[in-house]
Amino acid sequence: MGRVSIKQGVLVLEDGTVFKGMGFGAISTVSGEVVFNTGMVGYTESITDPSYWGQILVQTYPLIGNYGISSKDFESSTPKITGYVISECCINPSHHSSEKTLDSWLTENNIPGIQNVDTRALTKKLREEGTMLGILQVSEEEIDIEILKNRVKNIQDPNKRDLTREVTRKSIDIYGDGKPVVALVDCGVKRSIIDSLVHLGVSVIAFPVDTPFERVMEYKPDGLLISNGPGDPKKCSAIDTVRAALEYGIPTMGICLGNQIIALAAGADTYKLKFGHRSQNQPCIDMETGRCYITSQNHGFAIDSRSLPRGWREWFVNINDRSNEGMIHEKKPFMSVQFHPEASPGPTDTQFLIKRFIKTILKYKN
């Protein structure tokens, strides 16, 4: 019988705090921004969400991997997180669609993970002190914590890069063959956003994030959608494209990072949240109707609502911290939301907003 590998795991935060545990996934050492997600389900979708690029993800739900891994849940072709921190990893998943275990999947994709961590204490620290940079190491040998403490002082903040360029597509791709035609600026788009549009009969033409507006218009789209994605919106190369789109007047919608990019293109400002919104239960008020919706979110930056230029108004507001959750133009066909109306995972309460965008396109087209 072969030797059983016992992996050690250590997470060291930039302030020197150490969390020890048992390693799983790949034997590797990685660094990134340490963030937490409080969702009870949807770990596969989160792991493959390009918005987590450059981040070490902490999952607060105590048992992860219990229904295995199914490719039908992927939001992109491969895991996009840098590292994974959980309380307990299920080694014997039970679900009819499971294709492999979480451990084997992360190993195949060279993503290290650590379990047996007090994720409650770690999350509390990040909530109180804010997201931090960190180093995660998984090894079969003893880990030198002092070396990691010295290294963590010099790691790069991924938010100083344009992360959208690192996750965007390399070519122009077309999905569906219906009408109207929506041009999508891929800042790190989730597959479910494209699927939602195609399911409603829309044809989607997806462009790399740095595609100039003139190039986008060569395809004669009826509307423009700016997708979700990772990092600081001020670093994103799509701002100029979106500014040109607003000047042109094409019906435009933004989702998540797209909300922030449209704000910057319109002349508003953005800022970094203390620990972000990464969950499936964020309550948001529709300022038009006063109705509250429970939403799925994954973002670390937000729009400064005080900086909205003339003609724009807040559309949605987060009940928990009063941060901006969307904006809409008072006269022109421009709208955006900070949450994910396509859900996946999470509540589907706001899927009607995608239909509203399509109706807006058809109205201006006719």
- Whether 4 has a pLDDT exceeding 70, the answer reads no
* Ordered domains of the chain (ranges, CATH): 8-160 (3.50.30.20), 164-365 (3.40.50.880)
Asked if 111 contacts 79 with a C-beta cutoff of 8 angstroms, the reply is yes
The whole-chain average pLDDT of the chain stands at 96
User: CA 77 to CA 345: how far, in whole Å?
Assistant: 17
The residues, any chain, with a CB within 8 Å of residue 105's CB and separated by 6 or more, are: 69, 79
| pLDDT grade for 5, boundaries at 50, 70 and 90 | low
User: CA 102 to CA 25: how far, in whole Å?
Assistant: 8
Q: Tell me: the pLDDT tens digits for 112-144?
A: 999 999 999 999 999 999 999 999 999 999 999
User: CA 348 to CA 337: how far, in whole Å?
Assistant: 14
Q: Tell me the two tokens of residue 209.
A: 């994030």
Q: Tell me the two tokens of residue 170.
A: 């390399």
DSSP states of 110-136 as a string?
T-EEEES--HHHHHHHHHHH--EEEEE
- Distance in Å from the first CA to the final CA of the chain: 71
Q: pLDDT above 70 covers what percent of the chain? A: 98
Active site residue ranges: 256, 340, 342
- Which pLDDT belongs to residue 3? 44
Name the more confident of 1 and 295: 295
Helices (H), 203-281: 213-217, 239-248, 257-266
Name the more confident of 186 and 365: 186
- Which pLDDT belongs to residue 260? 98
139: number of Cβ within 10 Å = 16
Q: Tell me: the pLDDT tens digits for 56-92?
A: 999 999 999 999 999 999 999 999 999 999 999 999 9
Q: Tell me: the pLDDT tens digits for 280-334?
A: 999 999 999 999 999 999 999 999 999 999 999 999 999 999 999 999 999 999 9
| Residue 148 Ramachandran class (φ > 0 left, ψ -120 to 50 alpha, else beta) | alpha
User: CA 74 to CA 49: how far, in whole Å?
Assistant: 8
Asked if 88 contacts 116 with a C-beta cutoff of 8 angstroms, the reply is yes
pLDDT, average across residues 217-229 = 98
- Which pLDDT belongs to residue 287? 97
DSSP 71: G
pLDDT, average across residues 231-236 = 98
Q: pLDDT above 90 covers what percent of the chain? A: 96
The residues, any chain, with a CB within 8 Å of residue 68's CB and separated by 6 or more, are: 93, 94, 95, 97, 98, 99, 100, 101, 102
Query: Of 293, 181, 172, 186, which is closest to residue 237 (Cα–Cα)?
Result: 186
- pTM here? 0.95
| pLDDT grade for 1, boundaries at 50, 70 and 90 | very low
- Which pLDDT belongs to residue 6? 82
Asked if 182 contacts 205 with a C-beta cutoff of 8 angstroms, the reply is yes
Identify the bridge partners of residue 69 per DSSP, sorted by sequence position.
Answer: 100
- Whether 2 has a pLDDT exceeding 80, the answer reads no
Q: Tell me: the pLDDT tens digits for 14-30?
A: 999 999 999 999 999 99
Q: Tell me: the pLDDT tens digits for 153-211?
A: 999 999 999 999 999 999 999 999 999 999 999 999 999 999 999 999 999 999 999 99
